[in-house]
Amino acid sequence: MTALDSVSANTHLQRSAEDLLENLAHPVLLVGEDGKVEYANIAGQACLGGWILGLCFQDLFPDHLETLSISTLAREPFVLVSRTHIRFRALIGSVTRGAVLLSLFPDTSQAPALSSEGDELTGLLKRRDMNDRLDQVLSANSNSVAVHCLDLDRFKVVNDTLGHGVGDLLLRKVADRLRTACRKEDHIARVGGDEFIVVQTSVADAKDAERLASRLVDLIGRTYVLSGHTVNIGVSIGVALGEGCVVGRDLLRNGDLALYEAKRAGRGRFRVFEPGMDAALRERRELEIELRRALALKQFEVHYQPFVDLSSDRVIGFEALVRWNHPTRGRISPADFIPLAEETGLINKIGEWVLRTACTTAAGWADDLTVAVNISPVQFKADTLVDSIVSALGQAGLPPHRLEIEITESALLDNTDSVLRTLHALRNLGVQISMDDFGTGYSSLSYLQKFPFHKIKIDRSFVQSAEAGSDSEAILRAIAGLGVSLGMAITAEGVETIEQLERIRSEHCTYVQGYFTGRPVPADRINSFLSP
Ligand code: C2E
Ligand code: MG
Ligand code: MG
């Protein structure tokens, strides 16, 4: 066997091992040093409540007080009770650098974790009883059964801001509304903190199930008044139809997949399971595994797109835009993999790499050129951002004023105070801060008032449809005017034609960035944009 053969045999073996792990009937989790779930196979996701990557181990197993580590736990099986009250026997194995591999087996040795008296808070069924009833109704006539998997939207915010007392009241009210919406023959369970399952019986057809799901979305989304507070939440629902299915577990898994799609589609809605969803999830998981390896395999590259100062018509800096050169799929757009990287937490590592690469590259440019780096909202939530930036600047020898960071409004949506603290710390360092894609999100003017951004970047959708007299033109003009009065520079993104450039000029924008003035290029080609 040649050396090459042995490399490909190894790769082959690794792939087969990953496939095996992925499809193993019992749950396997990989928990990182920081206590967060880095990997869960399909069985792990299915029985622990869907998409759990990035969640804290402690949140999944709230009763487990010890920190999960090889040293603190004996290497013999121990019992874990999940947040959904399922008991497991767990076996622990070591992986490098503090990561822990856990395999879970059903715990048949003891009585059920909690008696079957129903959920104390809401009086609804618990998961275990619901599973039994589901199997019963399925064995009677599976064609007349539908399962609705519900997950409340924004419940955590209510709990965190108004306290657990109000959170509990809210859960009770939700339970009441569920009872109102369902019929007596239906079964309703609370299966997690803010997760519910409705087993609908006597379902005549798919429309029947959709009607109930739609009613639930509407009812739960109506305003609540709790201890004098007005509270608004929503619900996402995944619906799976019995249709010949005899195993409750499969139906619940389908419901979970549909729920996942409902959340991805923007929450506050329902989705009915379709067989394609399974394939779509597998595809995403494959991409996720590949994304995990991409950094180590050096498949990322940073391209740089110039921005031009309209008063001097000179390039004054470049935006760093990450590219993924996939060996078989070709170049994958950041618009396609950044959301996945954000969901899985991988954006922290990728973002850090982009930041370091961009700072090092920019340090080799003329002193008056800046580099702009996009920072994901997820990176803002980790409290290491300021340190990373200080370290990247120090290592590259780049003065802070030559770094600009771009954030989108979504970074400011939750945790506004802690994000504002981070932004102020960065501003005090001398780093410039831009509000990216302005106009596409909530466009809340209060954000502009709360933080003195150096720059507002107007999203390209307004630039590209800003014909004379259009709404976009009016918006463009209003934002440009706002920038002038607030003392913030304005960049118009996505300028592709000379006409668009002239329009931008007449609206008194400060900078322009777009294909017309320069497409993103690899680092070694930026000289073409700079005057000799
Ligand atoms: P963005 O930050 O708004 O970046 C501008 C995007 O618009 C880039 O797309 C750029 O190639 C594209 N663009 C620039 N001029 C034009 C034009 O004239 N016409 C058109 N049609 N498009 C133009 P790209 O590189 O595909 O990146 C998409 C988004 O992905 C970025 O939007 C940013 O939100 C995100 N992204 C890219 N790199 C990173 C990164 O390193 N970290 C993070 N967190 N996000 C990144
Ligand atoms: Mg940007
Ligand atoms: Mg943008």
Residues whose beta carbon lies within 6 Å of some atom of ligand 1: 305, 321-322, 333-335, 338, 351, 354, 374, 376, 406, 436-437, 460, 493-496, 514-515, 520
What is residue 15's predicted lDDT score, i.e. its pLDDT? Answer: 73
Q: What CA–CA distance (Å, rounded) separates 529 from 521?
A: 10
- State the closest ligand 1 atom to the C-alpha of 379, by its place in the atom list counted from 1: 44
Enumerate residues 6+ apart whose C-beta is below 8 A from 7.
none
CA distance 193 to 168: 10
Residue ranges in the chain whose pLDDT is less than 70? 1-9, 46, 49-51, 63-76, 84-85, 107-117, 414-415, 442-443, 532
CA of 302 to the centre of ligand 2 (A): 13
Amino acid 111: pLDDT: 42
pLDDT digits (tens, 9 = 90+) for 373-403: 999 999 988 889 999 999 999 999 999 999 9
The letter for the amino acid at 34 is: D
**How many CA atoms lie within 13 Å of 149's alpha carbon, on the beta-carbon side?**
29
pLDDT digits (tens, 9 = 90+) for 300-348: 999 999 999 999 999 999 999 999 999 999 999 999 999 999 988 899 9
**Which is the closest atom of ligand 1 to the Cα of 513?**
15
Cα(12) to ligand 2 centroid in Å equals 38
Phi-psi region of 454 (alpha: psi -120 to 50; beta: other; left: phi over 0): alpha
CB atoms within 10 A of CB 309: 14
CA 437 – ligand 2 centroid, Å? 7
| pLDDT recorded at residue 113 | 41
For the CA of 375, the nearest atom of ligand 1: 44
Q: Which two tokens stand for residue 31?
A: 């928990």
Separation of CA 436 and ligand 2 centre (Å): 6
Query: What confidence score (pLDDT) does residue 74 get?
Result: 47
pLDDT of residue 310: 96
